[in-house]
Amino acid sequence: MSKELLAFENIYKSYGKVDVLKNISLTLYENETLGLLGDNGAGKSTLIKCLSGLEEIDKGSISINGKKLNPKKYNIKKARTYGLETVYQDSSLAKEQEIYKNIFLGRELVNFFGFIDIKKEKAISLNLLKNFLGLRGSGVLADSKVSTLSGGERQGLAIARAVHFNSKIIILDEPTTALGIKEVKKVLDFIKALREHKKSSIFITHNLAHAYELSTRFLIIDKGEVKENILKKDISLQGLQNTLLRVAK
């Protein structure tokens, strides 16, 4: 049995009168890629926002690495200290700030004299963008504003940040939607490589072929509830498609 990294149990979340998550439980184990699937409006992004500490849950329990956490005190910063990093659908980047600042925001590199080492931050940023993600756009400079990047480049930047800080759990909400064909392949390869490094990820996509290729397990939700939890080895791509259609009826 693999080690449990993260467990959210019996989670409820409402926005005003709208009950978006209704008694959802999600467990993530070491060395797995969990495909979180479901129709538009099923609650996937909301669940991700709760997992990553962006949104507070109304009810339920949270544990990471076997340690039970207080949901009222759980936030993005806390999640990061436990090695959990998220790439959001509606980007988590500060668009009017430079690329390198976005990578190191809140986790600045400090030199011997206690000053922020901007030169080093820029060098690491550029290396991540050019060499890790292979971004070739002419606007990709360490001090370009994020607002000048393409959608794909922005996703790449958010992923590069997670990689640089060596996150153990990486959550990606539709990371390939805005990407060009070569960028998509890079992101998919990256998600695959995570597992080889004993890291786990949770990955949302509407592209079933990508989900099937990458995931080791699928969690299907609908109207804020878990409907199916299936290991990849137990289902074919066609079977997965049929299951999704049946669930979304």
Ligand X SMILES: Nc1ncnc2c1ncn2[C@@H]1O[C@H](COP(=O)(O)OP(=O)(O)OP(=O)(O)O)[C@@H](O)[C@H]1O
Which residues bind to ligand X, rule: CB under 6 A? 15, 18, 20, 38, 40-46
Q: Report what 200 binds from Mg ion, ligand X, none; CB cut-off 5-8 Å by kind.
A: none
For 108-241, strand residue ranges (E) read: 169-173, 200-204, 217-222, 225-231
DSSP-derived pairing of the beta strands 4-15 and 169-173: unpaired
Distance of closest approach, residue 39 Cβ to ligand X, in angstroms: 7
Q: Write down the least CB distance from residue 43 to ligand X, Å.
A: 4
Q: Least distance (Å) from ligand X to the CB of residue 219?
A: 12
Place of tokens 């009810």: 59
Cβ proximity to ligand X: between 36 and 140 the closer is: 36
User: Hunting for tokens 């939700």 — which residue is that?
Assistant: 221
Whole-angstrom Cα distance, residue 56 to residue 12? 10
Q: Nearest approach, Cβ of 177 to ligand X (angstroms)? A: 9
Binding site for Mg ion (CB under 5 A): 45, 89
Judged by beta carbon distances under 5 to 8 A according to partner kind, the member of Mg ion, ligand X, none in contact with residue 102 is none
Cα separation, 118 vs 70, in Å, equals 36
- The interface partner of residue 15, options being ligand X, Mg ion, none and the CB cut-off 5 to 8 Å by kind, is ligand X
By beta-carbon proximity to Mg ion, the closer residue of 160 and 172 is 172
Q: To the nearest whole angstrom, how small is the minimum distance from the Cβ of residue 45 to Mg ion?
A: 3
CA distances from 127 to 108, 132, 157, 158, 214 (A): 17, 7, 11, 14, 26
Instruction: Kindly tell me which of 89 and 176 has the beta carbon lying closer to Mg ion.
Output: 89
Amino acid at 194: L
Nearer to ligand X, 4 or 19 (CB): 19
| Closest to ligand X by CB, 51 or 187 | 51
- The CB-of-41 to Mg ion minimum distance in angstroms stands at 8
- Provide the b/e sequence for 187-206 (b: ≥16 CB within 10 Å): bbebbeebbeeebbbbbbbe
Closest residue by Cα to residue 221 from 1, 7, 11, 16: 11
Of residues 88 and 190, the one with the C-beta less far from Mg ion: 88
- Residue 167 contact partner, candidates Mg ion, ligand X, none, CB within 5 to 8 A by sort of partner: none
- Per-residue CA distances from 163 to 22, 85, 157, 217 (Å): 32, 9, 10, 22
